[in-house]
Amino acid sequence: MTKRSDDWAPATKLVRGGTMRSGFGETSEAMFLTSGYAYDSAEQAAARMSGDEEGYVYSRYGNPTNQMLAERLALLEGAETCRITASGMGAISSAMIAPCSAGDRVVAASALFGSCRHICSTILPRYGVETEFVNGTDLEDWKRALSKPTRLVLIESPSNPLLEAVDIEAVAELAHAAGALLVIDNVFASPILQKPLELGADLVVYSATKHMDGQGRVLLGAILGQSEFIEEHIDPWLRHTGPAASPFNAWVVLKGLETLELRVNQASANAAQIADTIAAHPNVQAVRYPGREDHPNFAVHQKQMKSGGTLVAFSIKGARAEAFKMLNALNLIDISNNLGDTKSLACHPCSTTHRALTEEEQAEMGLDESWIRLSVGLEDAEDLSRDLVQALNAL
Ligand X SMILES: *Cc1c(COP(=O)(O)O)cnc(C)c1O
Which residue of this chain has its Cβ atom nearest to ligand X in the complex?
A: 88
Of 29 and 156, CB closest to ligand X: 156
Of 70 and 391, CB closest to ligand X: 70
Residue 15: phi and psi, rounded to 5, are -90, -35
Rg of the chain in Å (alpha carbons)? 22
Segment contacting ligand X (CB under 6 A): 95-103, 175-183, 204-212, 240-248?
Answer: 204-212
Among 13, 105, 117, 210, binds ligand X (CB under 6 A): 210
Q: Which of residues 301-320 bind ligand X (CB under 6 A)?
A: none
Contact between 187 and ligand X per CB under 6 A: yes
Contact between 87 and ligand X per CB under 6 A: yes
| Residues present in the chain in total | 395
Nearest to 154 by CA among 182, 128, 123: 182
Considering the complex, what minimum distance in angstroms separates the CB of residue 353 from ligand X? 9
**Contact pattern for ligand X over residues 107 through 126, marking x by CB under 6 A:** ------x--x----------
Nearest to 99 by CA among 12, 182, 158, 192: 182
Question: CB 394: neighbour CB atoms within 10 A?
Answer: 13
Burial of 41 (0-12, 13-18, 19+ CB in 10 A): exposed
Considering the complex, what minimum distance in angstroms separates the CB of residue 231 from ligand X? 24
Are 259 and 213 in contact by the 8 Å Cβ rule? The answer is: no
Of 157 and 370, CB closest to ligand X: 157
Contact between 207 and ligand X per CB under 6 A: yes
Nearest to 311 by CA among 284, 344, 353: 344
Contact between 219 and ligand X per CB under 6 A: yes
CA angle 185, 255, 259 (to 5 degrees): 75
Contact between 214 and ligand X per CB under 6 A: no
Q: How far apart are CA 161 and CA 106, in angstroms?
A: 22
Of 214 and 221, CB closest to ligand X: 221
Contact between 211 and ligand X per CB under 6 A: no
Among 59, 65, 110, 160, binds ligand X (CB under 6 A): 160
Nearest to 301 by CA among 134, 203, 113, 163: 163
Total residues in contact with ligand X, by rule CB under 6 A:
17
Are 100 and 131 in contact by the 8 Å Cβ rule? The answer is: no
Nearest to 371 by CA among 278, 276, 247: 278
Contact between 291 and ligand X per CB under 6 A: no
Of 113 and 322, CB closest to ligand X: 113
Contact between 230 and ligand X per CB under 6 A: no
Q: Which of residues 321-350 bind ligand X (CB under 6 A)?
A: 339
Are 280 and 296 in contact by the 8 Å Cβ rule? The answer is: no
Site for ligand X, rule CB under 6 A:
87-89, 92, 113, 116, 156, 160, 185, 187-188, 207, 209-210, 219, 221, 339
